[in-house]
Amino acid sequence: MKRSAEKGIEFGLAFSGLITILTTIGIIWVLISESWGFFREVPLSDFLFDTEWTPLFSQKHYGILPLLSGTFLTTIIAIITAVPIGIIIAVYLSEYAHKRFRRNVKPLLEILAAVPTVVYGFFALTVVTPFLQTFVPGLGSFNALSAGLVMGIMIIPVISSLSEDALYAVPKSLREASYGMGATKFQTSFKVVVPAASSGILVSIILGVARAIGETMVVAIAAGQQPTLTLDPRQAVETITAYIVQVSLGDVQHGSMEYKTIFAAGITLFIFTFLLNNISFWIKKKYQEKYE
């Protein structure tokens, strides 16, 4: 009697675990089945090489390149902002800062990560863009630069906290050997500790990139909704995520071409983040083996 109850409970628990697998299967199935319909009407070569994305106009083009360029432009700006600052913060907190400073500052940095992204979008649109307009000529009220910068600020905690963990895990003996050779703290940090933690830092950067690619609200609010194939950060661009939001705001009928386009855009986004995530897992695994 008791044993069967135990079995029942175990089964219930296992089923809950199974839901995570079902979620993944669901995501992949939904993306593939809906974009299947899309690719039956649009040849893959058009999707990959056409330079215009105008599914909402009467003259329809289905080239993903403008959305990709918008996504990469904002992501690159975010990464250029977040990586140096994130790593400097990580090195400072791990190698230089007093324990107490570290203990007080870390929760504050965590708050940066807890702020809802729609709030960052507001910040980009109403504070950063007007500020940038005072010295960047030709900056539109919607632009990739401001959205990218704010996304960078948002990603700083991701990079700083993961990098700091990696730096912290470097054995003390390495630092002591370096000091013993007469190196300064700066030399030790950047020539010994950072290289030793490089794979962990790389993981933090990759996860930062994945986060930036998938970020939606900041770019939907501040970067604009015009799919333009450009690398000029002063222009309005549209990212993959912003396009999905733009279509979802309207009333989309299931089975319509617009409905299918958001899944085609979605599967493109999913492939990129899936690859980045798994590269980071792979690096992490290799790195852990090295230290154990």
Beta-carbon-side half-sphere exposure of residue 37 (alpha carbons within 13 Å): 15
Which residue stretch of 28-36, 56-64, 169-177, 197-205 sits at the interface with another protein (rule: CB under 8 A)? 28-36
CB 216, CB 135: distance < 8 Å: no
CB of 59 to another protein, least distance (A): 26
Q: Is 116 in the site for another protein (CB under 8 A)?
A: yes
CB of 247 to another protein, least distance (A): 9
DSSP character for 55? Answer: T
Q: Is 196 in the site for another protein (CB under 8 A)?
A: no
CA distance linking residue 265 with residue 292, whole number of Å? 41
The partner residues of 62 in beta bridges, in order of sequence, read 53
CB of 228 to another protein, least distance (A): 19
CB of 48 to another protein, least distance (A): 20
CB atoms within 10 A of CB 272: 19
Which residue stretch of 57-65, 168-176, 197-205, 238-246 sits at the interface with another protein (rule: CB under 8 A)? 238-246
CA distance linking residue 263 with residue 271, whole number of Å? 12
Q: Is 105 in the site for another protein (CB under 8 A)?
A: yes
Q: Is 217 in the site for another protein (CB under 8 A)?
A: yes
Helix H or strand E segment including 193 = none
Structure tokens at 255: 């089975």
Q: Is 181 in the site for another protein (CB under 8 A)?
A: no
One of 1, 19, 138, 173 touching another protein (CB under 8 A): 19
What is the total count of residues that contact another protein (CB under 8 A)? 82
CA distance linking residue 221 with residue 223, whole number of Å? 6
One of 32, 48, 118, 231 touching another protein (CB under 8 A): 118
CB 86, CB 185: distance < 8 Å: no
Helix axes 144-168, 198-214, angle to 10 degrees: 150
Q: Is 164 in the site for another protein (CB under 8 A)?
A: no
Residue number, 112 or 283, with CB nearest to another protein? 112
Q: Is 91 in the site for another protein (CB under 8 A)?
A: yes
Q: Is 273 in the site for another protein (CB under 8 A)?
A: yes
Residue number, 1 or 44, with CB nearest to another protein? 1
Q: Is 85 in the site for another protein (CB under 8 A)?
A: yes
Region 252-271 residues binding another protein, contact defined as CB under 8 A: 254, 262-263, 266, 269-270
One of 32, 88, 177, 181 touching another protein (CB under 8 A): 88
Helix/strand/coil percent split, the chain, to 5: 75, 0, 20
CB of 133 to another protein, least distance (A): 16
Q: Which residues contact 269 (CB under 8 A, 6 or more apart)?
A: 71, 213, 214, 240, 241
CB 113, CB 158: distance < 8 Å: yes
CA distance linking residue 235 with residue 245, whole number of Å? 19
What is the number of residues in the chain?
A: 292
Region 36-65 residues binding another protein, contact defined as CB under 8 A: none
Which residue stretch of 41-49, 59-67, 197-205, 217-225 sits at the interface with another protein (rule: CB under 8 A)? 217-225
Residue number, 29 or 291, with CB nearest to another protein? 29
